[in-house]
Structures are given as structure tokens and as C-alpha cells.
Structure 1
């Protein structure tokens, strides 16, 4: 009977560990998504500014 309780505790610990690992992986994935989105937005802003400067130069 003690063996079953130990096994149950091991399963609970393993389940908690896997859950923590999944949570960490999800946080890393979201961080990568946010970083990529931020980089995209910055690149878009830079290109838009360059395009507007080029168009302003053509008008003058």
C-alpha cells in the first residue's frame, strides 16, 4: 500500500514538473512572438519614414 502512495506522489510530482516546463516554454514562445512583432513594427516605421522622406524630396 505504501508503494502505491509513493507512486501516486511520483506521478503528481512528474505532472507538476511537466506543467511547469510547459508554462516556461509558453512564456518563452510568447516572448519570441512579442520580440518579432516589435522588430516588425520598428522596421515598418523606419521604412515608412524613409519612403516619406523620399517622397518629400521628389516634391521639392
Structure 2
């Protein structure tokens, strides 16, 4: 899901290029963070973004 240009569905089912989450992952990784995702079919999708907190 977080790989560049990876499509889990066909273009007929969902629009998009498949690059959005890959860019998010790269940005977060460059800043010491990460992204995770959870999905329940028919219920919805949740993505969690974690960035380190520095004082």
C-alpha cells in the first residue's frame, strides 16, 4: 500500500495514481516518523501518522 505506484484496486474501481501514500511515507521517514493503516471492509479506513516529538 505504501510502495510507489502500487495499486491495490483497478483504475475502474478507484481514481488516483497510487503515489500519494508513498510520498507521505517518504516524508515521514525523512523526519523520523512512520505511517500505518487499518481497514475494515464495509466500515472504513484509518491511517495513523507518527512524528517524533522533540523538546
User: TM-score when scaled to structure 2?
Assistant: 0.31
Q: Larger Cα Rg: Structure 1 or Structure 2?
A: 1
User: TM-score when scaled to structure 1?
Assistant: 0.29
Q: Is the helix fraction higher in 1 or 2?
A: 1
Q: Is the strand fraction higher in 1 or 2?
A: 2
Higher relative contact order (CA 8 A, sep 6+): 2
